[in-house]
Structure 1
Amino acid sequence: MNNRKKIPMRKCVATGEMKPKKELIRIVRSKEGEVSLDPTGKKSGRGAYLTLDRDVIELAKKKNVLANHLSTQIDSSLYEQLLELVNKEKN
């Protein structure tokens, strides 16, 4: 029997690439309309996945991908949090 574990794949909303879930960050909109980062991937609500890369985050901000995908306004502070997270990952 094959004992290899299946790696969950998710699609980055900015690039359209399928990647392992661990390489992406989930952004979630709750029922109340509050948008937040979900590093665990377990919060309830509408989710969107972004690749943890500075260029991808800038592209998502420029094209307003998250606002379209989550059907709500995205505060610029969320993109700043994402960029800080990318900087922490690289160090």
Structure 2
Amino acid sequence: MIANYGYKDGSGDFFVIIDTDKCMECPEKPCVAACPENVLEVMIDDYDDEVLAVREAFRKKVKYSCGPCKPAGKEVVRPCHKVCALGGIKHSW
């Protein structure tokens, strides 16, 4: 399943996109520790699987919470992407 956390406003789409099927295959979930802003957490989904999620407090401000990892106008590999060997996490911007 693809989980989208974030929002859309007049300036664009700002979503953290998590492929929970890929996430379930990863027992360590290193992306949680790699996130310097503490945006990510491991939760139990409706099927009792451990999956990655964006913390509730950050869901309506992911553009700003994830912003320090992506300086404006620069293409960089975000820390959470770098440690996700399965490619289960993406950002829409």
Higher relative contact order (CA 8 A, sep 6+): 2
Same fold (TM over 0.5): no
Normalising by the residue count of structure 1, what TM-score does the alignment of the two structures yield? Answer: 0.29
More strand as a share of residues = 2
More helix as a share of residues = 1
